[in-house]
Structure 1
Amino acid sequence: MKVYIIDDEQANREIVQILLQKYYPEMTILGDSDDLDTFIESRHLQDDTDLLFLDILMPDSTGFDLLNQLKKRSFEVILVTGFEQFALQAFEHSVIDYILKPIDKDRFCSAMEKAKKRISEKELLQSAKTQSVSRSKIAVIKNKKTHYIECSSVAYMIGQSGGYTTIFCKNGEFFLLSKSLSSVELECGDVPFLLRASQSVIINLEDIVTCDQGGSGYIGLRTNDFEVFLPRRKKREVLQQVENYLKSPT
C-alpha cells in the first residue's frame, strides 16, 4: 500500500510518518506536502497513491477543496484535523475515517485497519474483474476451424438482419457469426470496454479516436476508419462511458 501525506504543519506530517514506520512498516510512503497543489497537479501521484492522509484547514485552502476537485478518485482518504465540527462534512466525501489531533496511537491504528481492509477488498474486486475480462473470448468458425477471439482484440461488431453478426478486429481480421448481436453481447459478458453504441453496433471504447463537436454526430474508430452516427442523447451517454472507463482504476 502506498501512502501520501498532506498537512501544512511539518510536525504533524512527521508524526504520521513515525506511526506508519513503527506500526505499518510494510507501507510505502510516497512523500508529503504542506499544500494541496503538488498532489492536485500530479495525475501520476494520484494514480500511485492508495491512501491519502489529509489535513482539513490550511492557510489558503481546505482538504475539502481537493476532494471536490478529485471526486472520481481511486485512492482512499483519512482526514487528520484538530477540529471536530467537520466530521459530518468529512463523511459526506466518503472518507475512511476522521482522526483528531493530537493523534492517538490507538485511534490511528483503528483507522489504518479500516483502510487496509477497504483497499484489500478493492484490489480483490479489481483482480476478479481483470481475470474475467482476460478470459472473455468469442468462439467463431471460419474455414472449418474454430477461432477463439479475445474480446480485447475486437474493435467493433455490427448486427445484421437474419440473426448474423460481423466482428471486426483491431488487426484487420473479420468474422461472420450466425448469431445475433445480442447473443454475442451476452457471450462476452461484463466487459467494461465494449459498449452498445446503437441497436446494431457494439464498439470498443479503447478504439475511439474522434468525435464530432456539438450535439448529434459521428464517433470515429481507429480500425477501418469506422464511424457510427449517434443522436445527441446517445452520444453524450457514450462519451460519459468513455470518461468513466478512462478514469477507472486499472
Structure 2
Amino acid sequence: MNVYIIDDEQANREILQILIQRYYPEIRIIGESEKLDVFLNSTNLQQQTDLLFLDILMPDSTGFDLLNQLANRTFEVILVTGFDEFAIQAFEYSVIDYVLKPIDKDRFCSAVEKAKKRVLEKQILESAKSQLEIHAKIAVIKNKRTHYIESSDVSYMIGKSGGYTTIFCKNGDFYILSRSLNSVQNECFEIPYLIRASQSVIINLDDIVTCEQGGSGYIGLKTNDFEVFRIKTKFWGLSINLR
C-alpha cells in the first residue's frame, strides 16, 4: 500500500512517518509535502497513492479544498488534525477515518487497519474486473484465421454431439468450434449474462426479447435481423423451443 502525507508542520509529518515505519513497515511512503499544490498538480502521485494522510487547517487553504477538487479520487483519506469540530464535515467527504492530534498510537492503528481493509477490497474488485475482461472475448478459428468474438455479441450457443459447439452471433454470423459446450462454458464462467439454459444451449440474457410463462411457454432470442429463435428446453421452469 502506498501512502502520501500532507501537513504544513514538519514535526507532524515526521511523527506519521515514524508510526508507519514502526507499526506498518510493509507500507511504502511515496512522498510528503507541506502544501496541497504538490499533490493536487501531480496526476502521477494521485494514481500511485492508496492512502492519503491529510491535515485540515493549513496557512493558505484546508484539506477540504483538496478534496473538493478531487471529487473522483481513487485513494482513501485519513484526516489528521488538532481540531475535533470538523469531524461531521469530514465524513461528508467519505474519508476513511478522522484522527486527532496529538496522535494516539491505538487510534492511529485503528484508522490504518480500516484503510488497509478498504484498499484490499478495491484491489480484489479490480482483479475480478480484470479477469472478466480477459474472458470477455472468445477465440474461434474460421477459414484458417483466428477471430475474437466479443462475448456481448453472442446470441446463443448450441452444443453438438462429438464435442462441437456452434456460436450464433447477433449480426447473423456463426462459428463452429471443435470444443464441447462445457469447455466453452468454463472459459466464459465469469461472464454473468451468458447462461446455461440446458444441457446443450447457452443463451445471452441481454438478447431475450420474449418470455412466456408456463410449461408450454417460450423464450425468444433476437439477432440484428430481428428474427426470433425459440429454444426448446427447461430454463428456470420455462419451456423453450428452438427452430
Structures share a fold, TM > 0.5?
yes
- Alignment of 1:43 with 2:35, yes or no, is no
Matches of 1:50 and 1:25, distance apart in 2: 15
**2:48 and 2:149 mapped to 1: Cα distance?**
29
For residues 141 and 103 of structure 1, the distance between their equivalents in structure 2, rounded to whole angstroms, comes to 63
Q: Deviations over 1:17-37 (max 9, x none)?
A: 000000000111111100100
- Residues 151-209 of structure 1, C-alpha deviation per residue, up to 9 Å, x if partnerless? 5xx9xx8x9xxx9xxxxxxxxxxxxx85215999xx89579xxxxxxxxxxxxxxxxxx
Structure number with bigger Rg: 2
Q: Distance in 2 between matches of 1:182 and 1:89?
A: 56
1:149 Cα deviation (Å)? 1.1
How far 1:74 sits from its partner (Å)?
1.1
Pairs within 5 Å for 1:60-209: 60-140=60-140, 142-143=142-143, 147=146, 149=148, 151=150, 178-180=168-170, 189=191
Relative to structure 1, the CA distance from residue 182 to residue 16 in structure 2 (aligned partners, 3 Å threshold; closer, same or farther) is farther
Q: Write the distance in 2 (CA, Å) between the matches of 1:127 and 1:100.
A: 34
Deviations 1:104-150 (A, max 9, x none): 0000000010011000110011011101111221355632x684517
* Letter matched to residue 47 of structure 2: D
* CA contact 1:139–1:146 (8 Å) conserved in 2: no
**What SS is found at the alignment partner of 1:102?**
coil
Runs of 4+ in 1 over 4 A off after TM superposition: 181-184, 187-191
Q: Which amino acid aligns with 2:108?
A: F
Rounded to whole Å, the distance in 2 between the matches of 1:6 and 1:100 is 15
Q: CA deviation at 1:71?
A: 0.7
Larger helix proportion of the pair: 1
CA drift of 1:88 comes to: 1.1
1:26 is matched with 26
1:188-234 per-residue CA deviation (whole Å, 9 max, x = no partner) reads: 9579xxxxxxxxxxxxxxxxxxxxxxxxxxxxxxxxxxxxxxxxxxx
Task: Give yes or no for contact 2:5–2:33 (8 Å, CA) kept in 1.
Answer: yes
Contact 1:137 1:148 in 2 (8 A): no
Q: Partner residue of 1:235?
A: none
Q: How far apart, in 1, do the equivalents of 2:14 and 2:76 lie?
A: 20
Q: How many residues end up aligned between the 2 structures?
A: 168
What code does the residue aligned with 2:169 have? K
Output the aligned Cα RMSD.
3.1
> 1:234 aligns to what?
none
Whole-Å Cα distance in 2 between the matches of residues 5 and 43 of structure 1? 16
Per the normalisation by structure 1, the TM-score is 0.60
3-state DSSP class of the match of 1:26? coil
Counterpart CA distance in 2 for 1:84 and 1:51 is 21
Counterpart of 1:58? 58
> Deviation digits for residues 38-68 of structure 1, max 9, x if unmatched?
0000000100111000000101001011111
In structure 2, the CA distance between the partners of 1:37 and 1:138, relative to structure 1 (3 Å rule), is same
